[in-house]
Chains A and B, each alone.
Chain A
Amino acid sequence: MRSSQEIREELRTWILAKAKRLEPETLTGTTALFEERHLRSVHLPELLLLIERLTGAPVDVENLQAGDFRDLDTIMLRFCGEGRPR
């Protein structure tokens, strides 16, 4: 079972691999991934699969809200049981 820090790191690595115009130093927990078009709808299925693999649990796709994937902090809070870093 991965720690939340490990999950966050893996998600960060994946985001940086997909968002070609995003530099590591500018990707923070609150960077708006979709609003700023670093990621697009076409990335979501792969992102969901990654979240499910990292957490070892399926995501209930029928109860997702717009904004659940807004940024890394929101993803961690919504799917990985992590609060915002203090």
Chain B
Amino acid sequence: MSAGSSAVRLKKELASLAETTERLSRLSRRSYQNPYSAVEWPATARPEDEWFSSPEYLSLYGTPEWEKLDDPGRKRLAFYEAVNFYSLNIHGEKGLMEGLAARLYRKDLLEISEYLHHFLDEENKHSIYFGGFCTRYAKVYRSRQLPVAEKPPREVDDLLFFVKTMVFEEIVDDYNWVQSRDPRLERIARFINHNHHFEESRHLIFGRQLVTALWRAYSPGWSAETQEDVRAYLEQFFIMTWREYYNPDVYVDAGFQDAWELAESAWSLPAQREHRRAVSAKCVEFLRGIGLLLKEPSDAF
């Protein structure tokens, strides 16, 4: 299968997205935000007095360590896990903005450029909210994702970029949705989760359609080895994404000893594995539905 025929398929697939991207662009213009005036930040946060994350979504929920914590200790953990969640988003969005900017006005992606502008703009604004919280009340946790010079073929690179974005955002969105509706959460934490969920709903629609389009356009021209490689990469991406929710740096700040061992035991806890599987289920079902994944990425669960 030649590159020429995959270009023809891509053009056809992207044309079928036109109606969606026009609608999403209209919605983005309608809900255009100023992140500097949309929120009133409290002067301080009270980590041991208020919930900043839903307890059932914490990485230590269900562990013996969780059972031993008193109420202020649980809330303190929930605060640092919120900081970690926002930090993960900041790091994820940095990579996302780079990738979106690199694809703006590329000839073969011209059809979606207008929407990529909105996507990029909105991701920057999300990072302003997340960064606003982290820098006011705590810090931005370090990322263990490091740049490695990898240069896959452009088609593979494009598909992986957009499918990674989609997986990351779908997992985050489940947390946002649950936490935006949790009346126990402190006001600003609910706002950040609600706002992100509201905005991301457009990105999720775009993400699923674009991933489908790219997979349909490119994969028929790929060897079985390339397809297997993409699947293996994606399976490891699920593991990588989820591993970062079990951050030893959080456990140190929450007052735990043996933070790395704790991260490992929490990761392996059956209840936590089930949580990861449940949160990932819709996304995995979608990827299996279009044939991008052939099986569940079980090592992540």
Contacts and interface: CB of A to CB of B under 8 A. Distances in A.
A42 B236 contact: yes
26 contacts: A34-B148, A40-B233, A40-B236, A41-B147, A41-B148, A42-B236, A42-B237, A42-B240, A43-B240, A45-B143, A45-B240, A45-B243, A45-B244, A46-B243, A48-B146, A49-B248, A49-B260, A52-B248, A52-B260, A53-B248, A53-B260, A53-B261, A53-B263, A53-B264, A61-B143, A61-B146
A66 B146 CA distance: 9
A44 B244 CA distance: 12
A58 interface: yes
A43 B260 contact: no
Interface of B: 142-150, 232-233, 236-237, 239-240, 243-244, 248-249, 260-261, 263-264
B239 A46 contact: yes
Given A45-B243, A49-B248, 7 more contacts: A40-B236, A42-B236, A43-B240, A44-B148, A53-B263, A64-B146, A66-B148
Contacts of A41: 145-148, 150
A18 B261 CA distance: 21
Interface residues of A, number: 20
A62 interface: yes
A72 to B, nearest CB: 17
B263 A49 contact: yes
A18 B144 CA distance: 18
Contacts of B150: 40-41
A24 interface: no
Contacts of A62: 142
B109 to A, nearest CB: 23
